[in-house]
Each structure stands twice: as structure tokens, then as C-alpha cells.
Amino acid sequence: MKKLTMFDSTLRDGMQAEGIAFSVEDKLHIAHALDELGIGYIEAGNPGSNPKDLEFFRRIKEQPLKNAVLCAFGSTRRKNIDADEDSNVVSLISADTPAVSIFGKSWDLHVEQVIRTTLEENLNMIHSTVAYMKVQGKHVIFDAEHFFDGYFHNPEYAMETLFAAAKGGADVLCLCDTNGAAYYADVYAITKKVAAQFGGLEIGIHCHNDTGMAVAQSMAAVDAGAAHVQGTYVGFGERCGNANLSTLIANLQLKRGYTCIPEENMQLLTQTARRIADIANIWLPSSMPYVGASAFAHKGGMHIDGVKKVRESFEHIPPETVGNARRYLMSEVSGKATLLKKIQRIDPDVDGSSHIVSRIVEELKQREFDGFQYEAAEQSFELLIRRMTGKDQSFYKLDYFKIIGEQPLGDREYPSSAIVKVRVGDESRVTGAEGDGPVHALDVALRGALEGFYPVLKDMRLTDYKVRVLESSDTTAAKVRVLIESSDGNRSWSTVGVSTDIIEASFMALSDSIEYKLTLEEKN
């Protein structure tokens, strides 16, 4: 099996995505998650751009990576000065990483109209910067920025930039589709020409997803001879994002026979994706290939029946190969057999003739009629089964909660507060909390009241909150459905609540979320 070098830029290019902001601690956690997975190179930031990246490079020395090579990122020197006189270039040395990623202009439009220098000086900038880094003992990856746009506009000059980097001693020549606009067939054809021209050097590919083809472009480049693949692990990045490495690793290793990460680590793909999404505080799209919650989810009765009989009939790989799990979604179209299987996971003594199955079927239909939706909140449905089969445990009882909302005055940080009284056994506790809105205040107060009894709740937090109005014709009296996703850093689960009162619906989902977490711990 041919080995590919996987190069992750979540901590650099991923940081440029809208809504993404990592603390130094966040970056350290992500770096170690990628290292544990077996990613070859981790591009961790630009030490010349901000003190946070400098602090990261200092801290990572105290807890070094075991497998991955750490890489600092920066540009070629500025025009008309020597490399050792450019503070940004010199700062790359201070990061003390084994590898550096140097980007330089490959599109003559950028050379003449953006950095405003001559084509010849740009070649000198590339050559001298790469050569300076090689003298410093670095493994140098040259990112040919806008390479494909440059090649379309002026192929001779685009190739000259690669020759300049190669002459300077670059170890990798990475072709960048910085605008994400190249067609995958063109990426294949151009990469093939480059690979033939630079047979002794490793050729890389770096694609953005502006046309939705970043994964396809990257795979086309590999087919054409690229052996170094750049992207971000779950695809977020500048504008529409970068090539999704979790998809690429699975595609290239499982479908094309390449080695991207150690074979035994393939089952960590899903866990790593969820961990990074959790740290980034983003929702991992359920439809994401291989690692999404819906990647192996089945809802239609015929699909469920087919996959139970012959897995391959509706699944292209076994979900456990990538650490994911098969899910049979509960809804009115799923069928009684699917429901029975879910019930038997909780109460193995129930059989198809049991009256409890019919009761749960009727309850499910009534609840879906009332607006509940369990296909996206399976954990709430599991709790419903536990309650109806008597397999639930009473972890706490709510006596009351009270929400106080105020119009914020001036710069007041928290406009809402909540008071919650709970009982655990014979002991009661009253807790108050402020929050950025009533649901936030209620969440903080409820968990604050229970953490003294159940310390494991300190690991839990909400990662997503959605509200949908169910009958818009009823205007402000309409029912709302609240869907909450929670995580403890290792696992994620979803719960649902429905009511004409948005606070009550939120509390139902919050309460289910906490109860499910405690149920998990009880089972463990």
C-alpha cells in the first residue's frame, strides 16, 4: 500500500473560518487528538502573526507530540530585503518546529497587483526564503498559493515558481487551489504534469471547497501523483472551508488502498471528528460522510429490513470500521420490528406479543402528532421507553423553577436569571444563576443544583440548541419544538421537548439531557 502524507491545517487554516476561535488550550487539545489519530503533519499557526500562536509553540514543547511533525506557517520574505532581515521569516525559527510551511505567490496577477513587485523579484523571494529555511535545518513545504489560477493564466510562470522553490531546496511542492475554483479534471491534468516534471520531489495538494469539490480535487491530485494531502479534519476553514480530511482519509484508505494513518487507528475517525467539533463549539453536520451521526442511519422500513438481512444492501462499509454506529431512526415509518429491537436493548424480556410494545407504538404516534420528533433525539426516546417499561431511575425531582427576565441596562452582561429547587432522595437544594437569556440561566441553575449530588455533570455542556415553531398559523400561541445536543467531550446525545411555552419545552429537553448523562454513568 502506497503511503500518503496527511497534513492537517485545522489550527491555522481552520482558524480562518467564520465563528471559529481557539484558545491556546483548545489548540493543544486538538493537536493531541490529531497526533493520537496518526496525522503526519500538523500546521499549528503563524508565530509572526499573533502572540497566541507563539504561546502555543512554547506550551507544546512541554507536552510534545508522539507521532505527528509540528509545522509553523509563514510567507516568503518581503520584497527587496534579505530573508534574515524579515521579522516574520525569522519568527518561524523561534517556533522551533521541525518543519515549516512557506507560502509564495504563483499567480502573476497577485505578484504584480497584490504584493506589487516584479515577477523576477517574486522568484527571488521564493528561492531565498526556502534556502534560508533549509540552512536552518527545516523540512520545508512550499505552498504554491493560487497555483491553479496562476497556471490557467500563465502556465510558464506558475511552473517557474515551483522551480524557484525546488532550487532553494524545498522538500514538498504543494499545489494550492486557494480560490477553490478549479475543476477536478483540470486538477488531475495539471498535477500529473507537475509530478512528471519534479519526479524527485514530493508533490502536495491543498484545496478549498468553494465549488463543493475539495475532496474530489484532492483525490484527483492523488491519482495524478500527489503524495502529500492538506486539509482540515472536519472541513471548516476560510469561506466554504477546506478539503475534509476525515472524508479523504476514509476514501483514500478504504476505497483506494493508500495508507494515510495506521490501520488500527481508523476506528478513531469518528471520535476525533466529534472531539474537534466539540472543542470548536460547532455542530458536526449529521450528513458528513463516515463520521456524521446520519452516515449509517436508516429510517425507511424497507431500508431497515434490507440492512438487517444483508448489511451491504444499504451500507457501503461497516460503520464500526470508522468508529461510527448503525442507527435505526424512530418514526412512524420505521415499523414495529425496529421499535421492538430498541425496547429489547433496554428490557430483553419484552417480546413481540407484549402489550407494552403496542402501548409504546401508540405513545410514539401520539407524541409525533403532538410535535415530538425522535429521529433527531433518540436519547429522549430511549428515556421514554425506560419510563414506560419501568427501567428508568429517579435521579432527582424538580420542585419548581422560576425565570426572571429583565431588560438589559447599559453593559449588563446577563439579562436573565433562574431559580431552581431540586430534591435528591431526602435532600433539597435551591440554586440561582444568571444567564445570557432564560434558557441559558435555567441550564446553569439546574446543573449547578445537581452537580453537588452528581459531580460527573461538570463534564457536560450544551453544544447546540434549536427551536422550531410547529404551527406558524397560531402565531405567538404556537407550539415549539426544542432540540438540544449535549456532550461530555467523548460522547454526544440529543434530546427534545415540545410545548406552547418555549421555556417549558427547553426544560424538558434539558432535563432529558441531564437524565441521559446520568443514565450513561449508571450503566458504566
b/e string for 249-286 if b means 16 or more Cβ within 10 A? bbbbbbeeebebbeeebbebbbbbbbbbbbbbbbebee
- One-letter amino acid of 406: E
Residue range 169-221, pLDDT digits in tens: 999 999 999 999 999 999 999 999 999 999 889 999 999 999 999 999 999 99
User: For residue 216, what are the CA distances in angstroms to 35, 60, 191, 213, 333?
Assistant: 25, 34, 14, 5, 35
Radius of gyration of the chain (CA): 27
Q: Please name which of 106, 104, 165 lies closest in space to residue 132, comparing C-alpha atoms.
A: 165
Answer whether residue 330 shows pLDDT above 80: no
Pairing of strands 480-487, 41-43: unpaired
The per-residue pLDDT for 353 is 74
Minimum mean pLDDT among 146-160, 284-298, 467-481: which range? 467-481
**Rounded mean pLDDT, 272-284:** 85
Q: Is the sign of the CA dihedral 289, 294, 297, 300 positive or negative?
A: negative
Cell numbers 448489511 label which residue? 311
User: For residue 444, what are the CA distances in angstroms to 403, 433, 491?
Assistant: 12, 6, 20
Minimum mean pLDDT among 133-142, 185-194, 380-389: which range? 380-389
Residue range 51-108, pLDDT digits in tens: 889 899 999 999 999 999 999 999 999 999 999 999 999 999 989 999 999 999 999 9
Q: DSSP string of 430-490?
A: EEEEEESSHHHHHHHHHHHHHHTT-GGGGG-EEEEEEEEES-GGGGGG--EEEEEEEE-SS
Residue range 386-442, pLDDT digits in tens: 999 888 888 999 999 998 876 655 556 667 899 999 999 999 999 999 888 888 889
Q: Are 291 and 317 in contact (CB under 8 A)?
A: no
Pairing of strands 416-424, 397-405: antiparallel
b/e string for 231-241 if b means 16 or more Cβ within 10 A? bbbbbbbbeeb
Long-range contacts of range 193-198, CB-CB < 8 Å, 24 or more positions apart?
194/159, 194/162, 194/225, 195/224, 195/225, 195/226, 196/225, 197/159, 197/162, 198/162, 198/166, 198/173
Residue range 215-240, pLDDT digits in tens: 999 999 999 999 999 999 999 999 99
The per-residue pLDDT for 361 is 81
The per-residue pLDDT for 509 is 93
Answer whether residue 467 shows pLDDT above 90: no
Tell which wins on pLDDT, 285 or 524: 285
Taking the C-alpha atoms of residue 127 and residue 118, their distance in angstroms, rounded to an integer, is 14
All three cell numbers of 43, joined, read 500546521
The per-residue pLDDT for 406 is 67
Identity of the highest mean pLDDT range in 135-139, 421-425, 500-504: 135-139
Taking the C-alpha atoms of residue 97 and residue 104, their distance in angstroms, rounded to an integer, is 20
pLDDT > 90 fraction of the chain, expressed in percent and rounded? 63
Taking the C-alpha atoms of residue 368 and residue 374, their distance in angstroms, rounded to an integer, is 8
Answer whether residue 161 shows pLDDT above 80: yes
The per-residue pLDDT for 342 is 80
Q: Are 328 and 304 in contact (CB under 8 A)?
A: yes
